[in-house]
Structure 1
Amino acid sequence: MKQRSLQLAAAVFSILLIFGAASGLAQEKVLKVGVMAPFTGPSAQTGIEFKSVSTMAFDNINNQIGDYKIELIWIDSQSDPAKAAAAYAEAVERKGMEVGILNWHSSVAISVMDVAAQYKVPHLFAFGAAPIIDEKYKSDPEKYKYWCGKGWPVPAKLTLGYTECLQNAIDKGLWKPAKKLAAIYGEDTDWGRSQGEALTQEFKKIGWEVLSQDYFPPTQADFYPLLSKWRKEGVAVIAGTSTSAPAITALVKQADEVGLGAMIIADGLGWIGDWYKLTGAASNTVLDMIPALTTPEAKKWAEDVEKRFGYKPSPSASGLAYDWSNFAIKIFQRTFEKHKELNRSTILEVFHGEVVPGKLTYSKADGALIMNEYRFSPESIPNAVVARDGFYFPVLQYENGQGHIVYPDDWKDRDFKAAK
């Protein structure tokens, strides 16, 4: 009797082992992807856009690659380098993040680069663009190889279009500035200062004098003293950037209120999905260099975003974040195809083995909405390749809430208009 009981117990135990093993084999694998953006703080609107479109991109594949379930982890940078680094470390240690994507601020990127290197977590397509990021990356490429491709090239590669556009307008007699005097402004961050310095150098190259470089905190909302100084000196152009919606829109509105009369370059105004609600007609004739939703597919996508999430998507924030998210998905899919495993080491291998040499790209043929093709090369890394058929921004001029391409000439849909 005792022997029969032991045999029965052994049989039951064997069945349980088999069942447990089968359950383990059937259990779905998970790849935890961290999405970093300023979900709170002065740039929270951008965070909303990043969260919405990255969710949409992964929903399109049912959050599934092979036998891996994709789980998104939201990393709130709060527009603060120290807080972003702490949140990133928490995402790895406590939440199990294997790979990260996206980001907005340059200052945050500089901070988080070290955290990604510490944990050996590849981070794809962070938007921080300041030159100091390139310098840090190139100072130790082996250490910083985990910072996998910038989602926004260094400003000096993109600001050239503004001065070319203005000189083109002068040459064609479309604009006759009283004097060639510019004032440079920007948020007091690595991004704002690097953009300001790039703009300063470009104006000097075409023979302009730069009155000053004026930087302010992203929380600033009163620009009347600064505008008064610029008006008194008779500047013909004010040029700069801010990632803070309240700051950049306040500057544009107050410039109109005081009758500044200068051409305004507000680089990144169009990053804000509802920028026209915040500026109104004060934004008329403002220049910006951002991508545009030009194709039927891109316009349909924008309608879908507005219907689902309740805001008009910015091509720069929502559009680029959506495309880069889809490029990341293509990399994950290629990694699974090649290695049958999705983890930080296999993803890193595919990025450096196929993306950096330009073998794996994301183009219009793949469904890209904004750029013709997102690609890298050993010479461009950590930046994407900037070219007419690659990553390239036209110069837009705003009127009544619409952005019209005014430069380059072979892309334009109307002529440049001078400020009144």
Structure 2
Amino acid sequence: MISFQEKSIATLDDVDLTNKKVLLRIDINSPVKNGIIIDTSRLRTHTKTIKELVESGAKVVIMSHQGRPGEEDFISLKNHADMLTKLLGFNVEFISDIIGPEARKRIATLEVGEVLVLENSRFLSEENIEMPMEKLAETNIVKKLSKLFNYYIGDAFAASHRSQASIAGFPYVLPSIAGRVMENEISALSKAFYGERPRTYFIGGSKLEDAIKIIDHLLKTNSADYILTGGLVSLLALKAKGYNVGDAENIINQKFKHLYDEAKNLVKDNRIITPVDVVSEINNDVEIQKISNISGSPKDIGPETIKNYSDILTESKTIIMRGPAGVIEDERFKHGTISLAEATLKSNGFIIFGGGHFISILEDLSPGSRRRINYVSTGGGAVVYFLSGRPMPGIEALAYSYNKFFKGKKIEK
């Protein structure tokens, strides 16, 4: 059992799934090019839960989505099932149906140890609508499939910020538990709020709306001792402090002017740390500049900032890294991000790499260093929702199910 905001959620450790039919909702929504999956990381992430269910003697039906209607990556899950077969080392069957007679018949005849992948859940129009949990329980997908299963297993953390039928509808009517991916994400990310102090966040990248929401929540809940800023996030913070940020002035004024007043209030808090120098591109040349004299296009944090941030990171007991410090697509501006990652790994703290482009620099670290990372989240937008304190319907539905089906009762083991 795990806890989310003081609410209990059952896990695979709490139930005996021998000979039980389970509906496993995972998130294997993957980057696709010309109909081909080009990144299998999410598929690999979910193999642990699938293997454990098969070894426990369960009958497993997998549900997931891929892409959105009208987008290039809105494709069948046939290739995903084939890829799972390769990754798991045993057959994973696919059926091009979700709630029709063919799917229901095959689910009914499923044997122990068999794994069946249903078609892309978003091929059903009602799956693309977000509603309250009790309304989701009235959808055809929930009404037609729920009667075929003993348990629902929520393992799609990356989609848990969506209040959709396959995410938050089934727990309303079925005993529901968290899969291993969901359990690990909740446990690790909860340390961002409750881990040992000093607790330090590095927030970089270019998604300023997300960054503002996260920073605001961290300050209001007193969850962070230090909030180090990088990327465009730090340039907005510097501008809010009254500094000229070179060519970034135009970007902020054109696209993020609506965030300026809020940023101005936030940077008054001394827990928010901003760069003291930057690395700028001027006429294709690279120049280190003090923040009082920025010109050209600032694209990375400077050496003095790296030292200041590194000193804080190495002394921290809980560290959450989200977003790059610079434009890491250009090798000339990758140094700040790599240096901070290395400093983080020299600490004795609990280290979370919280999604976003920051994860891409893992390849630049030695295998020995990478082993120091306690958790790497693959949650994407869900991580932003979690860290900014916004509703997480997929998790809240599991907590609701615990209260409805497990609390005060003897859990079948």
Give the TM-score of the pair, scaled to structure 2. 0.36
Rg larger in structure: 1
